[in-house]
Amino acid sequence: MAISKAFFSSSLHPSLHYSPSRPTTVSLHFPFPFPFSAAPSRNLRLRCDAADSKPTVLIAEKLSDSGLDLLRDSADVDCSYGLSPDQLAAKIASCDALIVRSGTKVSREVFEAAKGRLKVVGRAGVGIDNVDLQAATEFGCLVVNAPTANTVAAAEHGIALLTSMARNVAQADASVKAGKWQRNKYVGVSLVGKTLAVMGFGKVGSEVARRARGLGMHVIAHDPYAPAERARALGVELVSFDDAIATADFISLHMPLTPTTDKMFNDETFARMKRGVRIINVARGGVIDEDALVRALDNGQVAQAALDVFTEEPPAKDSKLVLHERVIVTPHLGASTVEAQEGVAIEIAEAVVGALNGELASTAVNAPMVPPEVLSELAPYVILAEKLGRLAVQLVAGESGIKGAKVVYTSSRDPEDLDTRLLRAMVTKGIVEPISSSFVNIINADYIAKQRGLNFAEERIKREQNGLNGTPVNSIQVQIPHVGSLFASAVTDAGDIQVEGKVRDGVPHLTKIGSYAVDVSLEGNLILCRQVDQPGMIGKVGGILASQNINVSFMSVGRTFRGKQAIMAIGVDEEPNKETLEKIGTIPAIEEFVFLKL
């Protein structure tokens, strides 16, 4: 039988040093640098490791003091408001995090100028249309927002605009201040009994609907993704887009600006509305074709509009829309209440500080969003998933082209009750990072994998297992199909590299390599040997390592049959040098071995 002896060491990609004794491994707080790269020069820990160096957070727009105070506890805070794009680009390379509101464009150029240092962009509000999410993802930068704290403020502003518009409050106020008394000119329309169409029945839309119902309005809503029960609970009827715009007396916009909603209200859709309709927009200016709205106002199709947001902010001083006498405007004030600004400042500061400390924010916009309770129970499995991916890919022979991988989970839960997005993302990161020259983290792992043409498949199998029922996952198996391996024993009869692991007492363990059962905790570095099953092998390998002062942290032997072949898995705290590894290779009974960094 041909004997293959090989070792593999990825010196480019140092391993994560996971310690089960760290409290971070079992709480929501992931072991650093999760979810960021393991490469020390590129991860967040770079800034936080050194006791004397705090991360730098650039605050590009006004943020309430409570948020600033929170940030100052753990970061150097640079409040530089009103930067030009060039000034922002110049500053960003020395910042670890950036916090903005809607007034700052965080473009691709900003991420390029950051030169890999910027790790988090915090949007102190909801809409993230001013952040180039694709660029953020490609550069592995986490984007978090503050999605809940300004909901009520935006809804209240929507209602303020609705009622002010209906009763000509703004125009009448200006007229009285100009010394006039025009009671006949400013006769309004009543709201009670009128139909309001809420377009976008999310957080703000629902709150507007609730308030409008209190004003005696008949409320309908259009939202392709909203659950009918939520609408029913508020006494709101969910209808099609066409029905909504055709039947409403008032239309209030609350959808995000996306490629689908861009200029969704245009000549054609205005023409299908009820003549004399009134429109309120506290969402984003871009959802309306503003020139078309001017035309619809001029020809009477739209009676009035109340706008808080504009395609370009601030709008041009001579904007026909802004100056139109049947239009009332506010300068993007939806979120501007004392309470909401306090709330978003705290919400975003907590998210940014958490991310800088290696926590996965539950308000992440470009990473798998997993509810905190799921995050908490998945924490040790997340580490297992990454390590299995990292281990599997290091077993691939250099010249073999990886086309992708399959992840198989066994769990006592029904497959649909198992949220594996985070685990899948971490397996992907584990596989992609050692074979990519790019900085890889959980944010951009999928993107980089796709760019390299790698496909990832998943299978969830329901299986009861004594002692493990109740835990979210029994085992995770990573298969890399149809590739050559540096360690032939890791290849199954089907020709796939296969590694499997479990979490025991909160610690990730490797439990299977190919078809060999082993049981080693996944920490430090790993030497895998296949040898003829005979006495004295552990002593021989242990002796060589001891002579080089290399501490063995664990050892496990799995064999097929007594006297046949055995797989020995040896955990080592230090990285053995080439000579030590070669010495192990000269032990006659050893048929093949591989050195892996976890």
Ligand X SMILES: O=C(O)C(=O)COP(=O)(O)O
Ligand Y SMILES: NC(=O)C1=CN([C@@H]2O[C@H](COP(=O)(O)OP(=O)(O)OC[C@H]3O[C@@H](n4cnc5c(N)ncnc54)[C@H](O)[C@@H]3O)[C@@H](O)[C@H]2O)C=CC1
> Segment contacting ligand Y (CB under 6 A): 255-263, 347-355, 469-477, 568-576?
255-263
Task: Give the one residue of 138, 290, 308, 386 binding ligand Y; rule: CB under 6 A.
Answer: 308
* All residues at 6 or more sequence positions from 5 whose CB lies less than 8 Å from its CB, including other chains: 585, 590, 591, 592, 593
Among 51, 225, 229, 562, binds ligand Y (CB under 6 A): 225
How buried is residue 246: exposed, middle or buried, by Cβ count under 10 Å (0-12/13-18/19+)?
middle
Tell me which of 71, 197, 199, 231 binds ligand Y, using CB under 6 A: 199
- Answer for which of 202, 380, 430, 524 binds ligand Y (CB under 6 A) is 202
User: What's the min distance (Å) between Cβ of 264 and ligand X?
Assistant: 17
Contact positions toward ligand X, by CB under 6 A? 101-103, 124-127, 150, 332, 334-336
- By CB under 6 A, tell whether 265 contacts ligand Y: no
Question: What is the residue-wise DSSP string for 543-570?
Answer: HHHHHTTPPEEEEEEEESSTTSEEEEEE
Query: What is the closest distance, in whole angstroms, from the C-beta atom of residue 259 to ligand X in the complex?
Result: 17
Which single residue is written with the structure tokens 């490791």?
49
- The H or E element that residue 527 is part of is strand 525-532
Is residue 255 part of the contact set for ligand Y (CB under 6 A)?
A: yes
- Residue 254 touches which of ligand X, ligand Y, none (CB < 5 to 8 A by kind)? ligand Y
Residues whose CB falls within 8 Å of the CB of residue 183, separated by 6 or more in sequence, listed in order:
none
**CB of 306 vs ligand Y, minimal distance in Å:** 12
CB of 157 to ligand Y, least distance (A): 7
Amino acid at residue number 326: R
CA 540 to chain centre: 48
Torsion of CA 328, 333, 334, 339, to 10 degrees: -140
Sign for the CA dihedral angle at 415, 416, 417, 422 comes to positive
CB of 255 or CB of 306, closer to ligand Y: 255
Q: Contact between 527 and ligand Y (CB under 6 A)?
A: no
- Minimum Å gap between C-beta 250 and ligand X is 21
Binding map of ligand Y across residues 309-328, x = CB under 6 A, - = no contact: x-------------------
Which residues are marked as active site?
284, 313, 332
Among 43, 104, 137, 151, binds ligand Y (CB under 6 A): 151
3-state SS, residue 19: coil
Give me the least distance between CB of 330 and ligand Y, in Å please. Answer: 9
Question: Which residues are paired to 287 by β-bridges?
Answer: none
Give which of ligand Y, ligand X, none residue 223 binds (C-beta under 5 to 8 Å, depending on kind): ligand Y
**Binding to ligand Y, residues 105-144 (CB under 6 A):** 125-127
Q: By C-alpha distance, which of 170, 165, 171 is closest to 188?
A: 165
Q: Which is nearer to ligand Y, 256 or 481 (CB)?
A: 256
For ligand Y (CB under 6 A), the number of binding residues is 32
Given 29, 194, 222, 424, the residue binding ligand Y (CB under 6 A): 222
The rounded distance, in Å, linking the Cα atoms of 526 and 531 is 16
Q: How far apart are CA 395 and CA 21, in angstroms?
A: 28
Tell me how far, at minimum, the Cβ of 336 lies from ligand X, in Å. Answer: 6
Contact of 223 with 248, CB cutoff 8 Å: no
- Choose among 352, 270, 315: nearest CA to 98: 352
Q: 149 or 572, CB closer to ligand X?
A: 149
Binding site for ligand Y (CB under 6 A): 125-127, 147, 150-151, 154, 199-205, 222-226, 254-256, 260-261, 282-284, 308-309, 332, 334-335
